[in-house]
Structure 1
Amino acid sequence: MNAAINQVMQQAAQAFAAYKKIPATDKARFLETIASNIEALGDHLLNQAAAETNLPLPRLTGERGRTTMQLRMFATMLREGSWVEASIDTAIPDKNPPRPDIRKMLLPLGPVVVFGASNFPFAYSTAGGDTASALAAGCTVVVKAHPAHLHTSEMVNEAIQQAITTCGMPEHVFQHVTDTSFEAGKNLVEHPATAAVGFTGSYKGGRALYDYAIAREKPIPVFSEMGSTNPVVFLPDAIAQNGAALAQQYAASITLGMGQFCTNPGLMLAIETNALPAFIDTLRAAIETVAPAKMLHTGIHKAYYEKMEAALHEQHVTVIQQAATAPQEMEALPTVAMVDGTTFLANPLLREEVFGPYSLLVRCKDMDELLKVWISLTGQLTTSLMGTDKDFANYPALLDTATAIAGRIVFNGVPTGVEVCPSMVHGGPFPATTDSRFTAVGINAVKRWVRPVCYQHCPPTLLPEALQEGNPLNIWRMRNGVMGKE
């Protein structure tokens, strides 16, 4: 075990013993102070992130806003308080056998290790959703910075350290690891003090962390988000009525941010109808005009071309269109390709994610073949249904397939762009994530880092405030089967 990693995790465990007892209102102030400190870094932070990631300043400005909003969202959740799911079933002495007093709530797991993402230097990295939700849950956090934006990560770490001092939090409630080696990541997951892991990235990386975690003497939960092809189903009447608009809408979604989103629509499914050629022609024209742009880093750039070229070299795969402008160094070439449904079903390689501005249109003979193609796919973060009222009336069973394979079902919209709100689900069946029961976005993301604990016939003086008589926190609770504030 690496000595530096061992020290970091021991410090995280010691800090957890104190941090989990800190009142929710103080934790809320801590999260809000982090948000304010990040904003105070101003353009210097944005320029640093742009230099390291090649992302444009408008995109980074929006992402920083999302990050600080997430922190404040969890602060609001803490002050409201009902997220702990307090439940009370009072004693029934004359029941046979007698029922004891039973009370339950959610408690934090312990130190959480978070791996920063390459494609979101703010929202899924140092102070992103994993960190914010874990701190809100009452867990201490150790972030392993992503090597693609180390300096940006260090600046955000300094903002958090200042908030720790300002708010009087335990010294090691948050720690920042800049050792980018695979061995350091393995040590962090395997350390006995680590209670849970959060990861956003590739299937290879996420699966490796999951395997480390379950191979431990004491296995721990891992929430790995590992990508998705996000299939889009274009239904016949929608293609006939709105084909041109849909083609333009999806050309923009496929190439947004050079396709470097986990929700990028990498597969499009459609039935061969008289209207489909016009849709393809509009898609071709729209992709042709997209300007290539730099990708996040050399590793992603290299992987994009390797995976795209492997797919394009498969039998019966044809290029619909590539961008007309030749890409320069580190730039991606926007590309859409096409294949028939029979070939797709026979070729597992075509189902793999190509991370970048690429999408494959699968032409299906009929609805039966389209359903076979759709069902053949593994778990997804999203799947989209583009249809008219007529389409949805004709094919009502489509929703059953959609809910079976994806965590978010989009109707007549694009999957790129994830709204941060309580109703959002950013997760899905394996291999989109390692645990489809949870979301990485919204206040329910906190549930990844907690577990339910039951107090049976506990002396009133020992009960947590959330479970005490009189409801001193004034939170919503379930009492003898009735939700209320008593």
Structure 2
Amino acid sequence: MGFTPHGKHLIAGEWIGGGATFQNEPASGAPSDFSMGTVDLVNRAAEGAEDAFWAYGYTTRAERVAFLHAIADEIEARADDITDIGCRETGLPPARLQGERGRTTGQLRLFAETLLKGTYLDVRHDAALPDRQPAPRPDIYLMQRPIGPVAVFGASNFPLAFSVAGGDTAAALAAGCPVVVKGHSAHPGTGEVIAEAIHAAMLSTGMHPGVFSLVQGGKRDVGTSLVQHPLIKAVGFTGSLGGGRALFDLCAQRPEPIPFFGELGSVNPMFLLPAALGARADQIAKGWAGSMTGSAGQLCTNPGIAIVPAGAAGDAFVAATAEALKAVAPQTMLTAGMAEAYRTGKARFDSRNSVRPIYTTDSTGREASPNLYEVSAEAFMADHALTEEVFGPLSLVVRVATADEMVPLAKRFEGQLTATLHMDAQDTDLARALLPVLERKAGRVLVNGYPTGVEVVDAMVHGGPYPASTNFGATSVGTMSIRRFLRPVSYQNLPDSILPADLL
């Protein structure tokens, strides 16, 4: 029969049900009922998190290391249930859920390693100079400290790695910040299993019950109350531009504005330089087709636009891409709403005379099939709607008359998560001209690869200038993401007896 959800919220260590309910919309199997989130539950969770901060914010790094490892262990102990309910709710294949579970536990353990190293604290010390003239210098230490309770919004397209125990939660807990998660209504059962794992880890390591809460579902007022709650000190979000911008504005309008770390979307342009295009158009086309259709195109790093020079090599690339897409079977999208939004995005391209269909399909119900279009650089730059993300396996080829037009075209892009160069040695001069533009536009620049598949490592940046994200100095993937939930504190002339232990 598989995993059966109980449908309750986890609020400061207590499983709470009752009241109004909502149902998930599984891709397969019968729906389940879940208690609907309320403003009162948000308030209780935030108050529990604030109470927990006075204990959890001052735990040792070793204690938080043990907690993060315990969460990872408890998630792995529920592997079968996670795969079962995750596949049913999202329509994603078992291999994807299993891989994402490994990424989720890997993130938790990576942050545990980060805590052990201690370099994230950025400790600095300027020793006293009592004999300095005309005035002595005091003894000053600096160290990063946790900011307080953090709100996290679960993502629709990553039910594990960007949701209840995903990167935002892992980074905040590592920093010493309690977390209140607003679960995504597309996969509440999956979120429930992960919350059970975190709860079990809290109990086994003796953590304060308010260190983690999960509020399921709820109307817009639930999300609004969470980001505007005076005890919440930062927000992590992965989702749509419209929804993210609305929450960002609410954070800015608070009596005490707080940082909103939103990853909002990107078209992730690829620039195919002439020598590389002439040498391996077919190979690049097949790689692009696989990248753009993976997970039904429902990835924030989906390379949605390819900039290609006019000519025979470019024509061959377009034809090879279309041929590769014909072999891609329809895929189930995460929700019916996303499938409808994908069809709406396709209609936007179909309605434009400047856009030429290369390979088009009809998608029905919750299924999505790939679509490919082509447009001239001039028409592309004249129509901002063509630069907007379509969440799904739809891509656009932008044809430039000459390769030299790539630099001015690149300058017209808004902020991106990624930008890719496909190049050979003969393309070096053009690549050098493009790189200053691309590094200003994107958080990650790739060469001869595809941006889907984000490595969780120290050097990763998953963010970029707006609208890719709301804070261009931050990343939501990699160990640097812990910085979002820390702030620097200077300690002047404190005796060793009261200095924080990490400074001794």
Give the TM-score range, shorter chain: over 0.9
Please name the residue that 1:89 is paired with: 126
Q: Which amino acid aligns with 2:228?
A: E
C-alpha separation in 2, matches of 1:222 and 1:451: 15
For residues 362-407 of structure 1, the C-alpha deviation after alignment (integer angstroms, 9 at most, x for no partner) is 0011234322222111100000000101101344211101101000
SS of equivalent to 2:471: coil
Please name the residue that 2:144 is paired with: 106
Alignment of 1:231-250 (within 5 A): 231-250=269-288
Task: Return the TM-score normalized by structure 2.
Answer: 0.91
C-alpha separation in 1, matches of 2:357 and 2:269: 18
Please name the residue that 1:311 is paired with: 349
For residues 395-444 of structure 1, the C-alpha deviation after alignment (integer angstroms, 9 at most, x for no partner) is 42111011010000010000000011101111100110000111111111
* Contact 2:273–2:403, Cα closer than 8 Å, also in 1: no
Please name the residue that 2:98 is paired with: 61
* Contact 1:37–1:160, Cα closer than 8 Å, also in 2: yes
For residues 92-150 of structure 1, the C-alpha deviation after alignment (integer angstroms, 9 at most, x for no partner) is 11212211101000000000000000000000000000000000000000000000000
For residues 146-202 of structure 1, the C-alpha deviation after alignment (integer angstroms, 9 at most, x for no partner) is 000001101110110011000000011000101332110000000100000000000
Alignment of 1:69-80 (within 5 A): 69-80=106-117
Unaligned runs of 5+ in 2: 1-37
Matched, 1:452 2:488: yes
C-alpha separation in 1, matches of 2:472 and 2:150: 19
* Contact 1:226–1:432, Cα closer than 8 Å, also in 2: yes
What root-mean-square deviation, in Å, do the aligned CA atoms of Structure 1 and Structure 2 show? Answer: 1.2
Alignment of 1:266-277 (within 5 A): 266-277=304-315
SS of equivalent to 1:463: coil
Matched, 1:21 2:58: yes
Unaligned runs of 5+ in 1: 469-486
Say which of 238, 253, 256 aligns to 2:291. 253
For residues 187-245 of structure 1, the C-alpha deviation after alignment (integer angstroms, 9 at most, x for no partner) is 00001000000000000111111100010000001100001000000001111011111
Q: How many residues align?
A: 466
Q: Which runs of 4+ in 1 moved over 4 A?
A: none
How far has the Cα of 1:327 moved from its partner? 4.3
Q: Which amino acid aligns with 1:62?
A: G
Matched, 1:358 2:397: no
Alignment of 1:77-476 (within 5 A): 77-96=114-133, 97-322=135-360, 327-468=363-504
Query: Structure 1's 395 and 140: CA in aligned 2 closer, same or farther, altered over 3 A?
Result: closer
SS of equivalent to 2:332: coil
C-alpha separation in 2, matches of 1:356 and 1:304: 6
C-alpha separation in 2, matches of 1:204 and 1:329: 24
For residues 330-388 of structure 1, the C-alpha deviation after alignment (integer angstroms, 9 at most, x for no partner) is 11120110000110111011010001001100001123432222211110000000010
Please name the residue that 1:5 is paired with: 42
C-alpha separation in 2, matches of 1:394 and 1:251: 25
Task: Return the TM-score normalized by structure 1.
Answer: 0.94
Q: Which amino acid aligns with 1:5?
A: V
C-alpha separation in 2, matches of 1:4 and 1:257: 34
How far has the Cα of 1:8 moved from its partner? 1.5
C-alpha separation in 2, matches of 1:3 and 1:277: 59
Matched, 1:46 2:59: no
How far has the Cα of 1:288 moved from its partner? 1.3
C-alpha separation in 2, matches of 1:213 and 1:190: 6
User: Between the two proteins, what is the percent identity of the paired residues?
Assistant: 44
Please name the residue that 2:18 is paired with: none
SS of equivalent to 1:320: strand
C-alpha separation in 2, matches of 1:44 and 1:310: 40
SS of equivalent to 1:180: coil
For residues 5-38 of structure 1, the C-alpha deviation after alignment (integer angstroms, 9 at most, x for no partner) is 2221111100011101111111111110111111
Query: Structure 1's 251 and 214: CA in aligned 2 closer, same or farther, altered over 3 A?
Result: same
Q: Which amino acid aligns with 1:375?
A: K
* Contact 1:344–1:373, Cα closer than 8 Å, also in 2: no
